[in-house]
């Protein structure tokens, strides 16, 4: 019975039809395979391979060098095979350390009067957001499954809504540095006020309402 099941398992991997059991055998044939056709569906393997690509892109944008690339390779493998674990959040923390350890990406070019690193920082913010969302989705997707296009579009809409606010804050910082004589202290103040404002707008109202305690009978 085990040999018959193993044989059919190997034939299934190569796309061959199963071998029926011998007459009088106690083996029970496997249940028929059901495939649901979905228009515009994306293979699950594509969703699972998106996070490691974003890990490499984030490392390049954050200025990873030397040993940091070995850590990036390990993180790419980890988010590919074990997306349920918080590897993406850990590597995002390292992105922040690499950015702070290098030159200021939002520094003002006094000659041109512009912030040349603005587009790089904007791309990094978008990449980090897509990495976190993509890893959360990949944790619920099998390699041989199909992901409906509506699921991806719904996730894309949430990303666009948040990125509209985040990218606007980046543009505000770049504008302040390019056209206003403000220092780091004022920029930090603006950033704190912006974070509080975004939190009040994004966080659902029911989270801020204190529910009365239930008195036991």
- Could you please report the per-residue DSSP string of 111-162? TTTB-TTHHHHHHHHHHHHHHHHHHHHHTT--TT-EE-HHHHHHHHHHHHHH
pLDDT at site 202 = 56
Q: Reply yes or no on whether the pLDDT at 206 is more than 60.
A: no
Alpha helix stretches (DSSP H) within the chain: 2-13, 44-62, 68-81, 87-100, 118-138, 149-179, 184-202, 205-208
CA–CA dist 71, 55 (Å, integer) = 10
Q: How sure is the predictor about 17, in pLDDT bands with cuts at 50, 70 and 90?
A: confident
Mean pLDDT check: name the lowest of 53-62, 66-75, 154-163: 154-163
Q: What is the pLDDT of residue 69?
A: 92
What's the mean pLDDT in 156-173?
A: 84
The three-class DSSP label of residue 175 is helix
Going by pLDDT thresholds of 50, 70 and 90, the confidence category of residue 36 is low
Question: Measuring CA to CA, which residue among 73, 54, 129, 64 is closest to residue 102?
Answer: 64
Residue 104 has pLDDT above 80, yes or no: no
Q: d(Cα 4, Cα 25) in Å, to the nearest integer? A: 10
Number of other CB atoms surrounding residue 184 within 10 Å:
9
Of the candidates 63, 52, 30, 38, which has an alpha carbon nearest to the alpha carbon of residue 146?
38
User: What residues have CB less than 8 Å from 56, skipping those under 6 apart?
Assistant: 72, 76
User: What is the pLDDT, as a whole number, of residue 58?
Assistant: 92
Domain residue extents for the chain: 42-202
- Is 50 a residue whose pLDDT tops 80? yes
Q: Kindly report which listed range (36-50, 55-69, 109-123, 178-192) carries the lowest average pLDDT score.
A: 178-192
Kindly report, residue by residue over 170-203, the tens digit of the pLDDT.
887 777 776 665 555 565 566 666 656 656 665 5
Please give the average per-residue pLDDT across 152-173, as a whole number: 84
Question: Average pLDDT, stretch 36-45?
Answer: 76
Would you say residue 52 has pLDDT above 90? yes
Res 77 pLDDT > 90: yes
Asked if residues 115 and 179 have their Cβ atoms less than 8 Å apart, the reply is no
Place 103 in a pLDDT band, splitting at 50, 70 and 90: confident
The yes-or-no verdict on residue 23 having pLDDT over 70 is no
Q: What's the pLDDT band for 115 if we cut at 50, 70, 90?
A: confident
**Chain mean pLDDT for the chain:** 77
Q: What local confidence, expressed as pLDDT, does residue 72 receive?
A: 93
Band of residue 93 on the pLDDT scale cut at 50, 70, 90: confident
């Amino acid at each position: 019975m085990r040999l018959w099941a193993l044989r059919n398992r190997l034939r299934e991997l190569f796309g061959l039809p199963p071998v029926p059991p011998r007459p009088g055998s106690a083996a029970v044939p496997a249940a028929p395979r059901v495939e649901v056709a979905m228009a515009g569906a994306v293979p699950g393997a594509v969703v699972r391979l998106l996070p490691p690509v974003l890990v490499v892109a984030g490392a390049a944008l954050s200025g990873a060098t030397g040993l940091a690339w070995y850590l990036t390779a390990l993180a790419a493998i980890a988010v590919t095979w074990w997306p349920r674990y918080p590897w993406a959040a850990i590597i995002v923390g390292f992105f922040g350390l690499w950015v702070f350890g290098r030159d200021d990406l939002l520094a003002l070019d006094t000659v041109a009067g512009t912030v040349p690193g603005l587009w790089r920082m904007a791309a990094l913010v978008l990449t980090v957001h897509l990495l976190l969302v993509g890893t959360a989705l990949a944790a619920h997707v099998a390699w041989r499954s199909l992901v409906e296009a509506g699921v991806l579009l719904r996730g894309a809409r949430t990303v666009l809504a948040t990125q509209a606010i985040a990218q606007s804050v980046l543009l505000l910082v770049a504008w302040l540095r390019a056209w206003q004589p403000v220092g780091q202290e004022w920029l930090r103040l603006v950033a704190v006020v912006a974070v509080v404002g975004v939190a009040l707008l994004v966080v659902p109202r029911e989270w801020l309402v204190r529910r009365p305690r239930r008195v036991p009978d």
